[in-house]
Structure 1
Amino acid sequence: MVQQIGSAVLDLERGTLRRDGEIVPVRPKTFDLLAFLARNPGRVLSKDELFEAVWPGIIVTEDSLTQCIHDVRKCIGDETQSLVRTVPRRGYMFQTAADSLSASLPPATAAVAVGRTPEPMVAVLPFRVDVDDTTAKPLFDGAVEEIINALSYFKTIAVLARHSAFALAQYSDQDIWATAERLGVDYVAEGAVKSADDGYDVRVVLSETASGRSVWAQTFSFKTSEIFAFQRTVAQRIATALVANIESAAMRRTSPAPAANVEAYIHILRGIALLRSYGEGVNQQARDHLLQALERDPDSGLAHAYLALADTIIGGYGSAPRSVLDRARDRALHATALSPDEARCHRILALILLYRGDLNAAAQHFARALDLNPFDADTLAQTGFFEAIRGHGETGLTLLDQAIHLNPMHPPWYYFDRGEALLVLGRYQEAATAFSCLPRKDAWHLAQLSACYALAGDTEKARVCAREGRQLKPGLTIQAIVADLRLERIEDRERIRSGLERAGWDETPLLETPLPATPLKG
C-alpha cells in the first residue's frame, strides 16, 4: 500500500519512505511506528496502544516513544506537528490520509481529489472461492470486474476502482473495514462462491461500512453459462439497494456480455490480467488468450479492443511502426462498432489514436468513454493525461485527482500521468516527486525526471538521472526524446529540451556499471 503523507510517500509493501523521490533512511522501530500511525488515521492512539504495537512484550520508557515520535516527524517533514499531533494526557493522533493529501494539493484540486463525493461510494471485493477450483477464480474475478464496470454507469453511484478494490481485499477482515472507511467507501459488497452440480451458488452481501449493518443480501444459484446474467443482476440489486431512484436508462445502455460463451470470456479475463502484469513474454501470452477468445466468439468487441491494445504494447506504444498502429486502430474501430456502448472500447481506441497522433479523433473517443462511464477511474486518469499533453494542465490534473480518489491504491502508471500534468503546469518539484514514485523507470522516464530536477534547480539530481538514463539507452539523444514527446504545445516541448540541456543529457558520461532495463507497463 502506498500512501501520501504530506511531502512523503510511504510504501508499506516495500517498506520504504520517500521524500522528493529519494529514499529516507528510517530506523526499524520508527518505520513500525509510522506504519501503525498510517494504518490508524483520525483517531487518538494511547501510549499503551503504541507501546504494544511497536514494542510488543518489551518494557520501554516513555522517552523511547517520545524519541520515536520525534524521528517519525523528522522523517516525514512534519516540523509543524500538523500530521502527527500530540493530544495532551491521551496520546497521539495521525492526520487522516485525505487531509494529508489535501495539504499537498492546490486548493482548486484538493476539493476534487479528497472531498467525499455526493454519491454513495461502494467497493465490490473479490468473491471468496474454493482455492482448488482453478476455473472459478478467474471467472468470478472477471464477474466482479464487470459488476464494478456496470455500477460505474449509474451517475448516482460512485464505485471504488477495480485495482483498489482488489488491493483492499488483501487486508485482514478488520483492516478492510477500517481502510475502506478511510478511503471514503460507504458500502462494501462481498460474495462467497460454492460449486454446485453444473454451476455455482453465490451469496452476495452489501454492508454499510460505518456500522457493519447488512443493507442487502441474496443467494444466487445459476449455471456457469448464466454468469453474464448474474453479473448484471447483482449490479442492479446493489444499485437498487443504494438509491431510491435509479437511472434505469443508464443500465439499459451498459455493455452487452463481453463474450457469447464462458470459454471465450475466461480467455478475455486471462488476457486482460496478463496485460496488467509485468514479466517476460506476458504481453504475447495476453495476445494469445485474446486470439483464442475471438476464435470462440468473433463478435466480442472487448476482445477485439484488448487485442488492439496488446498489439500496440508489443509494437512499442507510440514508437510502434505505423503499419502496426494502423492495424490496431482498425481493430479498435471494429470493436466500437461491435460494442458501441462499451466505454472500455472507446478508451482503448482513444489511446491508439493518441499514439498515432490523431489528437482530435482521440479527444472524441475519450469524451465518449467518459460520457458512457463517468466513474471509471482509468478513463478519468487517461483523459486527464490527454488533456495535460494538449496544454490543459489544470483540467488534466483535476481529472487525475478524481481518478485517484476513486482508485487510491492505483497502478503505477497513474504517477507518470500525474507527473506529466504537473510538469505542464510548471510545478517541477511535484512532478519530480510523482515520476520518482514509478517502481520501474526506463530511459524516457529518467529523461522526464532529469528535466524536472533541472527545471526545479536541482542540478545534481538531474545529472544523476541523466547518467542512469543514458546508461539504459546510450544512443538516446535530446532530439530523439523531444521528438517522441506527445506534448502538443511547442513551448512545453522546448521546456523539456531546456531541462535536458541543463541536466547535460547528451554530454553526461555513462556509468561504469550497466543498469538493467526495467520498463514501466501502463
Structure 2
Amino acid sequence: MLRFAGFELDQRRIELRAPGGEPIRLRPKSFDMLRLFAANAGRVVSKQELMEAIWPNIHVGEDSLFQCIREIRTALGDEGRQLIKVVSGRGYLFDAEVSGDPASFAASAGLSSASEQEGLAQQAGGHAAATVAGPAKKRQFSFGLRSRVAAVIAVLCAVIGFAVAAPMFAPGVVAPENTPTITVMPFVDGGSDPQATSMATNVTDRLADGLAKIDTIRVVTPRSDVTTASLANAPTRPADTDFVVSGELQRSANSWTLEARMTNAATGEVKWTTSVAVDTENTDLALQQSRLAAGVGHELAVRINAVLYPRAGVASPLTGSTKVVVEQALASINQTTRERFTAAQTMLESALANAPDNLDLQVTLSALQTRGIQMNWYSAAESTAAESAARSRLERALQAKPNYLPGLEAYCRFLTATNNFVESLVACAKVLSLDPWNGSALYQLGLTQIQLGRFDDALANFKQADRFDTPAVSRWTWLLGIGWANLLLGHSEEAVPWLQKSIAITPASGRPYMVLAVALQGSGRTDEAKAALAKAMVLRPGSTALNVAPPKRNASPVFLEAGQRFIRTLVELGLPAG
C-alpha cells in the first residue's frame, strides 16, 4: 500500500482509493503508470522510460501516454498539475510525499532502483539525444523500436550518424544562451457546455506537452488562478515569462474552431495569431483534440523558430522578386510535372546566380533537386551532380543557421531520398525537436524505416502524421505512406482506401498509381489494378521494371525482397521489363 496526498494505491487489489475511501476506477495502463510515478516520487521519469515500462516490446504513439496521464490527473483532481508536473525537455515529476514501500512497487512493476533506471534511460536514448541537442537541454526521441536491444542499436546508429552530420549542425545545436520561456494559458470555451470545457482543457494539455519537446524554449503552465491579463502586467508577471500563448475554442454544428495567439508578456503586443478548424464528422474526440493542438502547435513552432532565428541575420534576405521565385518553386515541389520541374529549376538557378548567399534560394533549389532525384528526372550523371550540389548547399546553409527549420526539413528529405538512412534518422529527429508536429519529417522518418525493413514502425509514424495532419500541403504523402506500409505488411485491402485518398489529392507523380495497382492486385481486383498501372504509365511514360525499382544502396534485405515482389507484380500487370 502506498499513500500520498490522501490517496491510497493498493497493489494487491489493483485499486486507487480517494481520501474518503471510495474506489476510483482507472484503466490498467493508467494504474500501472500511477504506480510507476508513486514508486519514483521526487525523480523525473522520462517519456521513454514510461513507454518502455508501460508498453514493453510494443510500439504505441505518444497519444497513448498522454491519455493515461490525463486520466490519472482527472482521478487525482490534479487539473492544476501540482502532483504530476511536466519538466520541460526531460519528462514528468511526481511531486508528492509517498509513504509505504516504494521499492516493492518498483520491483513489481519490473523496475530497478531509481539510479539504475536513470542509467538505463540514458543508455537507451539520453546519450544520443544529448549529442544531438547539446548539453544545455537533453531530449529523448523514440524511433518506435520493439525491444531494448533494437533501441540500443538504433542509438548507436544515431550516434554514428551524428558524427557524420555534426559539421552541418555545429555550432548552433545548443539552445540559445537566453532560452525564452513560453507560458501556455488554458484555452477557454465560449459557453457552459461541459464537453467544450473538457475539449479546451485537453487541447491545452496536448499543446503544452508538445511545446515542451522543443529544444530551444522552456514551457510553463500557470496556476489556475493566473489570468492572461495578469501576465501582461509587469508587477505580477513571472520574471522568466517572455511570451504568452492563449486562445478561445468555439463549437459549431460540425466543427471546432480554435483562435490562438502569442503575445509579448512584457508589452502585451500580439506577435502571432492563427485560426484552426477541425471537422467533427467521421473523427473521434481524441483525433479532434490532436489535430486542434497540432494545427496550433505546428504554426506556433514555425513562428517561434522565426522569432529566435530571424532572417535579418541572413545575407540577401527573402524579399521582393526573390520571394516570388521561392514561392513559385515551392508550389512545384510536391505537386509537379517534369515540365514544371525544369522551369522551376531554371528560375531558381537564375535567381541564385544573382543572390548566391541567399539561404532560402539555396534550400529551395536543393529541395527541388531532391524531388528530381526521387522522380528519376535526371540522367545517371546529372543525378550524381545534382545530389552533390544539393548536399553541399544544404550543409552550407545549416552551418550558417543550424536551427533553420526549412533547411533542416530539406536536409531530412534529401538524406532519405538519397538513401543516407543513418544520417536521415538524425536530421529528421532534429526537425522534430524544433517542431514536434511536423508531418513532413514524420513521413521522411517513416520512409527511412521502410527502407530499413521496419514496416510496423513506419506505419506508426505515418499514422502519427495523419493524427497531426500538419502541414496540410503534405497530407497526400503520409496517406501514401500508410497505404504503402500496409501493402508491405501484406494488408492489401487496408492499403487501397489510403492510396485512393492520397491520389485524390495529388495524382501527378504516377508512383502512387503503381502502389495502388499492386494493392488492388493483392485484393483480387485485377482489372482495376491494370487500369491503375495504365494511369501510372500515362503520368510516367517510359517507366520500366529497371527504372521504377528504388535504389538498393543501404537498404535492408527485408525491404529489397519486398521490392522485388512489388516489381514482379507490376510486370505481371503489364509494366515493361526493361
TM range (shorter): 0.3 to 0.5
TM-score for the superposition, normalised by structure 2:
0.44
